[in-house]
Amino acid sequence: MATSRDMRISISERASGTSRARGRVYAILRDAIVSAEFEPGQRLSESELAERLGVSRTPIREALVRLRDDRLVEIVPQLGTYVSRISRQAIDDAQFVREALEGAAVRIAATRARPEDVAALDAIIVRQRDAFRDSDVARFYFFDDELHRSLCDLSGHGVAWSLSQRASGHLNRIRRLSMTLPAYIDEMIEEHAVVVDAVRRSEPEEAEVALREHLKMVVSAVPDIERLHPDYFES
Amino acid sequence: MATSRDMRISISERASGTSRARGRVYAILRDAIVSAEFEPGQRLSESELAERLGVSRTPIREALVRLRDDRLVEIVPQLGTYVSRISRQAIDDAQFVREALEGAAVRIAATRARPEDVAALDAIIVRQRDAFRDSDVARFYFFDDELHRSLCDLSGHGVAWSLSQRASGHLNRIRRLSMTLPAYIDEMIEEHAVVVDAVRRSEPEEAEVALREHLKMVVSAVPDIERLHPDYFES
DNA sequence: CCCCGAATACTTGTATGCAAGTATGTGTGA
DNA sequence: TCACACATACTTGCATACAAGTATTCGGGG
């Protein structure tokens, strides 16, 4: 077997995957579910999805299998595929995972961040304030993700962010649904500032505590969402 | 749409999934990779796997896609599917994830464990000592997993264990390969005892520190494995 | 009018066939 | 003998066909 160095390089180059239909379908379906365009409890037909997206059932199926790993759909043999209802347990699990992974990451980030890294974090917060002033909630959430991702990257463990995101499907549905309730936004920006400030002063413990406190904001919106859309939730 | 309570119950009942060929194939292939029966760098042919396992290419493909998410295989379009070489970055990432998730879990477990829970943990350690005395390394590792899983379950966040396992493919390959080097085993049992003792005394901080310290044992075996099988590693 | 049963129209799971692309081996030419 | 071009035999990605099973609905009997 020819396992030359060159071949391995060409492998890692081409194994991106998102350009293929499978990855594209996965991204589309995941966004449709997280944004509640596909309503919780809704039935999904592989054939209909295949027709709507202009592909065959094969890449649809492979995407649905991945979404099932994310607990975002439930596949019942010979019966149907359903968009998972929002599960309090799944939210709780996701919250636990985020706090554990991102908390551990920001702790490390606080010990490694250089001044220019902190400046980049500050810049993100500025853009968040801009988005808030423009009432551009979508842009706000984009930079929210950017900040959290940057903190994970700074720790040298980008995997913390990707795993956290992968596990946070149910939580992100809450976030997206609460975009119409921007009452928290102002407070969230201030909490971000506290976290970044702790990172600036190289205070790992403080940074982790502040981040974990901040992450709890999202779950605080759950009761409001549940009042608005009781049928989106389990049992 | 008939979303009755009964239907949802029947859904969760049947959505186990492992009985189907897809789940079976995934489990078989994952174990073959983690146990190094399939050597790192080895090329896998969908057709050959399909023939050997007595199924068609479809369930094989779906299993390989999941293994790709686990970073255990690399799929290169029109070229081939390869067992991932052991990656130091992947090991480091897995180590970070395990420490973060299981550390956070054991911290909670220490505050919630009742005497009978601690007794169950003690029983697992006893069985580990038995396995060690019998030089039954496989049984030792089985109860190793049992202990860690129990700690996560006690925290009320079983997801910590399942996610940790899912992310620890590369790390578990090291563990399995180091089964022929049982020099660490004795020490590992003592570390387990320290963790359980901290849980018994309801000392969350102590328990987390002890567990994180214990988890570092696995990576300490990496240099030995790398000396034994340099071709199993990346670059 | 109600109840029960069978046919029907779906669903997902699996198998297979085709398309696009790459590495390799072979044969030919210099 | 070496180099280059082409044919061949693979690979995975995707599309399609078939199998197994379930809910629904329509029709007939009581």
Instruction: Provide the residue-wise pLDDT of chain B in tens; the chain has 235 residues.
Output: 333 333 333 333 344 344 578 889 999 999 999 999 999 999 999 999 999 999 999 999 999 999 999 999 999 999 999 999 999 999 999 999 999 999 999 999 999 999 999 999 999 999 999 998 998 888 988 999 999 999 999 999 999 999 999 999 999 999 888 876 666 788 889 999 999 999 999 999 999 999 999 999 889 989 999 999 999 999 8
* B104 vs A11, A42, A99: nearest CB: A99
The pLDDT of residue A11 is above 90: no
Compute the half-sphere exposure of residue A1: CA atoms within 13 Å on the CB side of its CA.
13
Tell me if residue A113 falls in helix, strand or coil: coil
Which residues on chain A are in Cβ contact (under 8 Å) with B11?
Answer: 74, 76, 79, 82
pLDDT for residue A181: 62
The pLDDT of residue A159 is above 50: yes
| Residue of A215, A190, A207 lying closest to A129 (CA atoms) | A190
Chain A contact for B82, CB < 8 A? Answer: yes
Cβ neighbours for B114, distance < 8 A, ≥ 6 positions apart: none
Which residue of B lies nearest to A22 if distances are taken between CA atoms?
A: B65
Proximity of residue B81 CB to strand D below 7 A: yes
Cβ neighbours for B210, distance < 8 A, ≥ 6 positions apart: B191, B194, B195, B198
Cβ neighbours for B211, distance < 8 A, ≥ 6 positions apart: B99, B102, B103, B106, B151, B195
- Mutation target to probe the A interface, by most A beta carbons within 10 A, among B22, B57, B93 is B93
Q: What sign results for the dihedral spanned by CA atoms B12, B14, B19, B24?
A: negative
Distance CA B219, CA A60 (A): 39
Distance CA A117, CA A129 (A): 19
Determine which helix (DSSP H) or strand (DSSP E) holds B73, and give its type and residue range. strand B73-76
Proximity of residue A57 CB to strand D below 7 A: yes
Distance CA B170, CA B30 (A): 11
C-beta of residue A172 within 8 angstroms of C-beta of residue A36:
no
C-beta of residue A173 within 8 angstroms of C-beta of residue A34:
yes
Secondary structure letter of residue B229 according to DSSP: -
Query: Residue A76 and residue B157: Cβ atoms within 8 Å?
Result: no
Among A77-81, A104-108, A130-134, A179-183, the minimum mean pLDDT is found in A179-183
C-beta of residue B69 within 8 angstroms of C-beta of residue A69:
yes
The pLDDT of residue A2 is above 60: no
The pLDDT of residue A16 is above 70: no
Among A170-179, A180-189, A212-221, B145-154, the minimum mean pLDDT is found in A180-189
Chain C: positions less than 7 Å from a protein CB are 10-17, 20-24
Proximity of residue A21 CB to strand D below 7 A: yes
Query: Residue B14 and residue A100: Cβ atoms within 8 Å?
Result: no
The pLDDT of residue A32 is above 50: yes
Proximity of residue B79 CB to strand D below 7 A: yes
Query: Residue A41 and residue B12: Cβ atoms within 8 Å?
Result: no
Chain A contact for B43, CB < 8 A? Answer: yes
- Where does B70-114 have alpha helices with state H? 88-112
Which residues on chain B are in Cβ contact (under 8 Å) with A1?
Answer: 41-43
Q: How far is CA A197 from the centre of its chain?
A: 24
Nearest-CA distance from B142 to chain A in Å?
Answer: 24
Distance CA A203, CA A197 (A): 9
For B55-61, the CB contacts below 8 A with 24+ separation are: B55/B21, B55/B25, B59/B20, B59/B21, B59/B22, B59/B25, B60/B25, B61/A62
Chain A contact for B15, CB < 8 A? Answer: yes
Nearest-CA distance from B1 to chain A in Å?
Answer: 8
pLDDT for residue A138: 86
pLDDT for residue A19: 54
For A162-177, what is the mean pLDDT?
Answer: 94
Burial of A101 (0-12, 13-18, 19+ CB in 10 A): buried
Query: Residue A235 and residue B5: Cβ atoms within 8 Å?
Result: yes
